[in-house]
Amino acid sequence: MTIPPAPAPSPTSVLASPTPVTPASGDRGDRLRQLVGSPRLAFVIRRLARAVVSLVIVLIASFFLVHLVPGDPVRAALGPTVSPEAVEALRRELGLDLPLGQQFLDYLRGLVTGDLGVSVTSQRPVGATLAERLPTTLLLAVVSFVVAALGAFPIGVATAVSSRSGRHRAADLGVSGLLGVLIAVPNFLLAVLLISVFSVGLQAFPPAGWGQPSQVVLPVIALAIGPLAYLSRIVHVEMLRVLEEPYLTTARSKRLPGRILYVRHALPNIVAATLTAGGVVLVGLVAGTVLIETVFVIPGIGSTIVSSITAKDYPLIQGVVLVYAILVLAANLLIDLALAALDPRSAIAEA
């Protein structure tokens, strides 16, 4: 006997609740809703405000990143063999000798003008490196997300309908087990497996690099399969829940054809939950590019962040961390806006 409203004890459910509602926010929402008139608009305003606050936190965090490193980051970056003069020169170049307030102002000014500093290792402007590499990462993430989202709906709906009918029990268990395995296998491991099977074994796709369409296939599969399985399961669970709702019984009592029953009556009611889960997936995909780019040697910002951390190239680290954080915020905001636009009863605002 557990307490009824406790969240389901699974790690996914914990991760999949990015919009938990604090008891107080309802009250605040009421006031805002009264002010702007529409619950939908109030929701959008709240989410925009949250994105702005998040952005401020991200800016502050990425600025202080260097200052939080214990000891002397400059010395750490250059190694113990370099002369004190060189250390001092780099410190001056990075502006670390200035007062903290001045440093922060310079940092913000740099951000506005697009000047993110110069990489310690390559001596190239960080902004230029990022601009060159970001499109690759974006392409990888977006294509993978589209693959995952497009695949998840048919799989989730079909498995839910089949498992409710209970007629194909063995197949249902098999598919559900397969999805479970795909969720459990981490993407970097899957990437290694894909390379060993399709590149080394079958020689069907190149194992590394970026540029030709054939080089896109394996990274996208490696990145998309886990989220695809996860989203399929969310769609499956949500669909099963909706299929047991009284309004679906109402629809069945109208003897509607299956197509209308599932597409018109069931699907719209899983949109909100699926989109929310989709947000988690999208954000996870963005982060997953770090691993996939490293495995497939793809020149995106993901492989950059790893090499820059290893090299203690702080200006570059700062830049990449900032870009990643902004990508995550943008992904979250995008999902929120989609929720506001698609959720038919604006349940989001009632929550």
Applying the rule CB under 8 A, the residues between 268 and 307 that interact with other proteins are 268-269, 271, 283-284, 286-288, 290-291, 294-295, 305-306
Stretch that binds other proteins, among 112-120, 132-140, 182-190, 216-224 (CB under 8 A): 182-190
125: three-class secondary structure by DSSP: strand
Of the pair 109, 209, the CB lying nearest other proteins is at: 209
Contact between 2 and other proteins by CB under 8 A: the answer reads yes
Of the pair 139, 328, the CB lying nearest other proteins is at: 328
Near other proteins in 93-132, by CB under 8 A: none
Near other proteins in 223-262, by CB under 8 A: 244-257, 260
Give the residue ranges of DSSP H helices in the chain.
11-15, 23-36, 39-68, 73-78, 84-94, 100-113, 126-165, 169-184, 187-194, 214-243, 246-253, 258-259, 271-296, 301-311, 314-342, 347-350
Q: In sequence order, what are the residues at sequence separation of 6 or more whose Cβ sits closer than 8 angstroms to the Cβ of residue 99? A: none
Query: Binding other proteins by CB under 8 A: which of 229, 329, 339, 349?
Result: 329
Q: How far is the CB of 167 from other proteins (least distance, A)?
A: 5
Q: How far apart are the first and last CA of the chain?
A: 26
Q: In sequence order, what are the residues at sequence separation of 6 or more whose Cβ sits closer than 8 angstroms to the Cβ of residue 214? A: 205, 206
Q: How far is the CB of 89 from other proteins (least distance, A)?
A: 23
Contact between 9 and other proteins by CB under 8 A: the answer reads yes
55: three-class secondary structure by DSSP: helix
Phi, psi of 70 (to 5 degrees): -65, 150
Query: Binding other proteins by CB under 8 A: which of 60, 108, 173, 341?
Result: 173
Near other proteins in 16-55, by CB under 8 A: 17-20, 22-25, 27, 30-31, 33-34, 50, 53-54
